[in-house]
Amino acid sequence: MKNTSLLREEKRATVLFMWLFYIVFFLYDIFYYKIFPLFPWIAEALPDTIWYFLSFIKHLIIICLIPVTIYFFKKGNPEKVKYIIVITYLVTNLVTDIYYYFGSAESYSSGNLVEVVIILFSPIFINKRFFHLVTWGLILKYIVVGIFIQDPVIFFPVISLTILAGIAYILLHRILNYVRVLKTSYDEQLVGMVKGVIATLELKDYYTRGHSERVAAYAMSLAKATGKVKESELNSFYYACLLHDIGKVNIPDSILAKHGKLTEEEYEVIKTHPVVGAKAIEDVEGIGDNLAVVYHHHERWDGKGYPEGLVGEETPLVARITAIADAFDAMTSTRSYRPALPFEEAYNRIVEGKGSQFDPELVEVFKQVYSDWITISIQYSKDYSPKEGLKLENP
């Protein structure tokens, strides 16, 4: 699951980076090999045939990257393109420089203006890992070349690149700070919206007070324990869990608060809430990426769930996680038609549902985090006060 807005921005940044890289890479060499030698005092310093041959090989390799980058764009993985370009550039330059200058009496004279572009424009990806690859990759390249050719002139590009990296780091640091501020502001607005929606739902059904927060907390605990939900997706997953029952706002109060067994017709109405809920949040940025939590949290491992009757891993992982959290809290909460079950009995029912109602692997992970869920339940029972209203914090 990818955030479409971030994916679009990554594509735009990558395309801009590629244009800058290829334009500067080739224009610099055209100037260096075709225009620069026209100056009469430079004629004796022209590169020899071997250097031209190595340069041709290097340019050919860089050109061959274009179809590779197109492939990754089509596959929806533009984030890999920048790494491929930079690593290929570093390796080819390292090999050609060492091959040409090793054992030669000629003083070192290499590099390309594109290195300046790579460093100064690396902050546009707002990615520290990429920045460190660019910075340390370029510096390490020159250090390795210096070790082989034993030429002190190598210190000049190392010092220059270090200064440029410092400037780029300041830019990256400022951009990251702005992004954090914007993200915090957005999260606060999203929390406010979720608070209002959950409060509205709880006004319809008193017995669900605190249910959404507990389910979200249980689900986060289980998701982290699996190690299969990316850190970058946890926030979106958390908010989607909070709103997993939002579709119930469309269900009549007479059905939600009924003190007895539902009729078949009433149960069919209840079964509409995942579809209604998913439709309600599908366009909400920051939640819509985890639409499966709302739409599929009542699916079963054996295919007897709803709304689509998915079997096994056909149900997305985040929905399978939420299903266990939702079932556990439903059993340990007082409802209009029955009192709360003891934690031990709810635990046993989850275990008994292994391979039928619930994902077998997730049930095993549930056993590991069960004690944490007891702590979560106790904590929420203390923190939730009907007089004060809903207490909801970021995960």
User: What is the model's pLDDT at position 314?
Assistant: 96
Q: What tokens does 5 get?
A: 């807005």
Q: What is the pLDDT of residue 386?
A: 41
Side chain identity at 94, as an amino acid letter? Answer: L
Residues 6+ apart with CB under 8 A from 84: 65, 68, 69, 72
Integer-rounded Cα Rg, in Å, for the chain is 30
Of all residues in the chain, what percent are helix, strand and coil, respectively (each to 5)? 75, 0, 25
Return contacts of 14-20, CB within 8 angstroms, 24+ apart: 14/69, 14/73, 14/78, 14/79, 14/81, 14/82, 14/125, 16/121, 16/124, 17/82, 17/85, 17/121, 17/124, 17/125, 18/69, 18/81, 18/85, 20/117, 20/121
C-beta neighbour count of 312 within 10 angstroms: 14
> 252-271 b/e with 16+ CB inside 10 Å = b?
eeebbeeeeeeeeebeeebe
**Pair of tokens at residue 369:** 């985090």
- pLDDT mean values, one per 10 residues, the chain (395 residues): 65 90 86 67 58 83 92 87 93 89 77 85 90 94 90 88 93 90 78 74 68 92 93 86 88 80 88 91 75 94 94 95 95 78 94 95 96 89 48 46
> Residue 46 has what pLDDT?
53
Residue 71, amino acid: Y
Tens digit of each residue's pLDDT (9 = 90 or more) over 182-239? 877 877 777 777 777 777 776 666 666 788 889 999 999 999 999 998 887 888 899 8
Spatial separation of the C-alpha atoms in residues 366 and 219, rounded to whole Å: 10
**Residues shown for the chain:** 395
The answer to whether the predicted template modeling score (pTM) of the entire model surpasses 0.75 is no
Q: Is 181 exposed, middle or buried (0-12, 13-18, 19+ CB in 10 A)?
A: exposed
d(CA 198, CA 211): 10
Report whether 172 contacts 126 (CB < 8 A): yes
- Determine the Cα–Cα distance for residues 113 and 309; give it in Å rounded to an integer: 59
Query: In angstroms, what CA-CA distances link 352 with 20, 348, 357, 358?
Result: 60, 6, 9, 9
Q: At what angle do helices 4-30 and 49-74 cross, to 10 degrees?
A: 160
The whole-number pLDDT of residue 392 equals 45
